C-alpha cells in the first residue's frame, strides 16, 4: 500500500489562509514575494522603512483583492521589530510565515572600507536576521502551531569576491544562522527555517548589469548554466514551496537559487 494521502498531495503547496509577514517588502524581491503570497491566498503583512512605498503597495494589493496591511520598522532595531510583530498579530491574530527579504550593501575593498561601513552591512544583513527571526520565533512558539521561515541570503554566502568583505561575510553568517535556527526551532517547536541563495536578480540597483552587450553581463553568463540572469519572479516557486507543507521535512537548508552559478 502506498503511504500517501490524496488530500495531502492536493493541498501540500497551499498557503491559503496563512499569515505571511514579509520584511523588505518595498524591495524588488520583497514586493514580488509579498504579492505572490497574496495571490496564493495568504494574508500579507508587509514591513519596511518607507511609508510612502508601503502605502502604495497596500493600495495596489488591495485593488487586486489581496488581504494586506503594513507597518514601518527597521529590522535591526529590536523595539521596532517587536512593535511590528505585535501590529501584525493585532491585525491578523498570528504569524505563520516569515519571509526575510531586506538587505543592504556598500561594496568596497578592505583597505578602503571603514569599520563603520562594514558594521552597517553586518547590522543590516546579519544582525537584523537574528533580531527578526528571534522575535517571530517567540511569537510562533506562543501560538503553538509551528511555522515557516524563509530567509533570503545570496550565493555570495558561498563565494568570496573583491570588495565584498562586508556583504559576503554577512550573508555567510546569515546562512550559518539558518542552520542553527533549524536546530533550535524545528524538532521542538515545528518551525522550519531555510534560506534562499539567489544570484543577481533584476532591480533598480542591478538593472545596469542586464545589458546583454556589456562585459559584466557576458562574464556572468560564463557561470550561469541557465543562460540568463534572474528576475524576482524566478524565486516565487521556491519561496511558496518552503512556506508550505510540501517542505515539512526540509529545514536548515541553504537553497541554491543561482541558476547554476555555484556548480560551475
Q: Say what the pLDDT of residue 249 is.
A: 98
Q: 125 has which bridge partners?
A: none
Q: Which residues are catalytic?
A: 167
CATH fold group of domain 12-203+231-259:
Rossmann fold (3.40.50)
Q: Say what the pLDDT of residue 163 is.
A: 87
**Averaged in consecutive runs of 10 residues, what is the pLDDT profile of the chain (264 residues)?**
87 97 97 98 97 98 98 96 98 98 92 96 96 98 98 88 91 97 98 95 86 88 90 96 98 94 80
**Domain residue ranges of the chain, discontinuous segments joined by +:** 12-203+231-259
User: Do 259 and 59 contact (CB within 8 A), yes or no?
Assistant: no
26-to-22, 49, 196 alpha-carbon distances in Å? 10, 8, 18
User: Do 158 and 262 contact (CB within 8 A), yes or no?
Assistant: yes
Q: Say what the pLDDT of residue 66 is.
A: 98
Q: Say what the pLDDT of residue 219 is.
A: 87
Give the 3-state DSSP-derived string for the chain, with helices as H, strands as E and coil as C: CCCCCHHHHHHCCCCCCCEEEEECCCCHHHHHHHHHHHHCCCEEEEEECCHHHHHHHHHHHHHCCCCEEEEECCCCCHHHHHHHHHHHHHHHCCCCEEEECCCCCCCECCCCCCHHHHHHHHHHHHHHHHHHHHHHHHHHHHHCCCEEEEEECCHHHCCCCCCEHHHHHHHHHHHHHHHHHHHHHHHHHCEEEEEEEECCECCCCCHHHHCCCCHHHHHHHHCCCCCCCECHHHHHHHHHHHCCHHHCCCCCCEEEECCCHHHC
Amino acid at each position: 500500500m502506498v503511504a500517501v494521502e490524496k488530500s495531502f498531495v492536493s493541498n501540500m503547496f497551499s498557503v491559503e489562509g496563512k499569515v505571511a509577514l514579509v520584511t523588505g517588502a518595498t524591495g524588488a524581491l520583497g514586493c514580488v514575494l509579498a504579492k505572490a503570497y497574496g495571490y496564493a491566498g495568504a494574508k500579507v503583512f508587509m514591513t519596511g522603512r518607507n511609508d510612502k512605498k508601503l502605502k502604495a503597495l497596500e493600495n495596489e494589493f488591495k485593488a487586486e483583492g489581496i488581504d494586506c496591511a503594513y507597518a514601518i520598522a527597521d529590522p535591526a532595531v529590536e523595539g521596532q521589530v517587536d512593535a511590528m510583530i505585535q501590529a501584525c498579530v493585532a491585525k491578523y491574530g498570528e504569524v505563520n510565515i516569515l519571509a526575510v527579504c531586506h538587505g543592504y550593501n556598500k561594496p568596497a575593498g578592505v583597505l578602503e572600507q571603514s569599520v563603520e561601513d562594514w558594521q552597517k552591512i553586518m547590522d543590516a544583513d546579519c544582525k537584523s536576521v537574528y533580531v527578526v527571526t528571534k522575535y517571530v520565533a517567540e511569537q510562533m512558539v506562543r501560538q503553538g502551531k509551528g511555522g515557516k521561515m524563509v530567509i533570503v541570503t545570496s550565493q555570495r554566502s558561498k563565494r568570496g569576491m573583491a570588495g565584498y568583505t562586508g556583504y559576503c561575510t554577512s550573508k555567510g553568517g546569515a546562512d550559518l544562522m539558518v542552520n542553527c535556527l533549524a536546530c533550535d526551532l524545528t524538532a521542538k517547536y515545528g518551525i522550519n527555517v531555510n534560506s534562499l541563495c539567489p544570484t543577481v536578480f533584476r532591480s533598480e540597483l542591478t538593472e545596469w548589469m542586464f545589458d546583454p552587450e556589456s562585459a559584466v553581463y557576458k562574464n556572468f553568463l560564463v557561470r550561469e548554466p541557465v543562460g540568463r540572469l534572474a528576475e524576482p519572479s524566478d524565486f516565487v516557486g521556491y519561496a511558496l514551496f518552503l512556506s508550505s507543507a510540501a517542505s515539512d521535512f526540509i529545514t536548515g537548508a541553504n537553497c541554491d537559487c543561482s541558476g547554476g552559478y555555484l556548480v560551475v
